[in-house]
Structure 1
Amino acid sequence: MSEAQKPAKATPLQVAKAVFWSFLGIRKRAAYEKDAVSLTPAQVVVAGVIGAVILVLSLVTLVHYITG
């Protein structure tokens, strides 16, 4: 595949959006296929780990606030 045919890498915002919708389990097939072309596995893994950490910290903070 030549440089002209390679799709552009996704921006951090696009990666975050794709991971967020994946966490919710809501994703249109067309958007999934578009992301599959532009996202790299490293981008998805890093964004997924960051998203999971944010989710866990948010839940811990919420529980601490409610019970506290």
Structure 2
Amino acid sequence: MQGAGQGKAGPLAALKAVFWAFFGIRKRQAHDEVSHLKPVHFIVAGLIGAALFVLALVTLVRLVTGKG
């Protein structure tokens, strides 16, 4: 019965779930939407999110310190 929703909620849904997890907030409905995804989707989404976060921090520090 998950086949209908599985096509919609792909790796982008995992990215969305990881994004909200970085903030520590997520609704029960969001958990139900991504509960059928493979763990590899969350691992890749987490790595992408962490890389973007570090890149944003480095960019912000360079802008503030004037070394950019």
- Does TM-score exceed 0.5, indicating one fold? yes
Paired letter, 1:52: A
Match of 1:35 in 2: 34
- 4+ long deviations beyond 6 Å: none
Any stretches of 5+ residues in structure 1 without a counterpart? none
User: Normalization by structure 1: what TM-score?
Assistant: 0.78
Paired letter, 1:29: R
Which gives a bigger RCO, structure 1 or 2 (Cα 8 Å, sep 6+)?
1
Paired letter, 1:11: G
How many residues are paired up? 63
Q: CA deviation at 1:47?
A: 0.7
Paired letter, 1:14: A
User: Normalization by structure 2: what TM-score?
Assistant: 0.78
Q: CA deviation at 1:33?
A: 2.4
Q: Which moved more, 1:10-19 or 1:51-60?
A: 10-19
